[in-house]
Amino acid sequence: MNVAIDGPAGAGKSTVARRVAGELGYVYVDTGAMYRAVTLAALRQGIAPDEADKLKELIGTIRIELKPGEQGQTVYLNGEDVTEAIRSREVTLIVSPLAANESVRAKLVELQRELASARGIVMDGRDIGTHVLPDAELKIFLTASVQIRAQRRYQELPEDQRIPLAQLETEIAERDRSDEQREISPLICAKDAIVVDSSELTIDEVVAAIIDLSRSRM
């Protein structure tokens, strides 16, 4: 089966999806990492999110690959390991407007569907249950209050990358707003998704709940 996990920024999707995939013996696919890799390529070439023609050209020439790695998944851009580089603040600040681009989405969705065709996939993102894998056997919409999400992200940031908590909260809320309001495949909860609010739950509890749901649908 395929499991789709969607939700807003910082809800814990990646950690949860990676662990669920590990326990089920499935392959984990982080689609946000793909949008981040395209964003890194655009930044390096000085292409802005609103330069549609240049983005169309860029997406036709770059190669993005995901391979199982030490931290769950290693991301390659034209053969270069960019797993860490795609997590930079620079990338995080413009990934959402860039992910609104039609050509970028069309190309990445095609890749994501290809990856999921063998089934046995846990895929996380924003539009997996609604658009990429509408037939996924289990769809989870993982959320938490914006305050909690900002606090969690804050604690994960290395000392030298710390920014004030209030600023982090504003940036997360802005990215959610941008993901929810874009025209193509906005972030919304699929009608047949199960909503899991992790505000009051530990990672272990969320993982256990999703594993139980997965097993009940096998």
> What's the min distance (Å) between Cβ of 216 and ligand C5P?
25
- The reply to whether 175 sits near ligand C5P by the rule CB under 6 A is yes
> What's the min distance (Å) between Cβ of 48 and ligand C5P?
16
- The reply to whether 139 sits near ligand C5P by the rule CB under 6 A is no
Please say whether the beta carbons of 4 and 132 come within 8 A: yes
> What is the SS3 assignment for 19?
helix
- The reply to whether 75 sits near ligand C5P by the rule CB under 6 A is no
Strand pairing partners for 65? Answer: 76
Query: Residue 4 annotated as binding?
Result: no
Query: Residue 12 annotated as binding?
Result: yes
Other beta carbons within 10 angstroms of residue 90's beta carbon come to: 11
How far is the C-alpha of 33 from the C-alpha of 205, rounded, in Å?
Answer: 25
- What tokens appear for 194 in the block? 């199960």
> What's the min distance (Å) between Cβ of 125 and ligand C5P?
2
> What's the min distance (Å) between Cβ of 215 and ligand C5P?
25
- The reply to whether 126 sits near ligand C5P by the rule CB under 6 A is yes
Residue range at the interface with ligand C5P (CB under 6 A); choices 19-27, 48-56, 69-77, 91-99: 91-99
- The reply to whether 31 sits near ligand C5P by the rule CB under 6 A is yes
Residue given tokens 């997996």 in the structure block: 128
Query: How far is Cα of residue 192 from the mean position of the Cα atoms in its chain?
Result: 20
Instruction: Report CA torsion sign: 4, 5, 8, 14.
Output: negative
Give the interface with ligand C5P as residue ranges (CB under 6 A): 9, 31-32, 35-36, 95-96, 99, 125-128, 175, 179
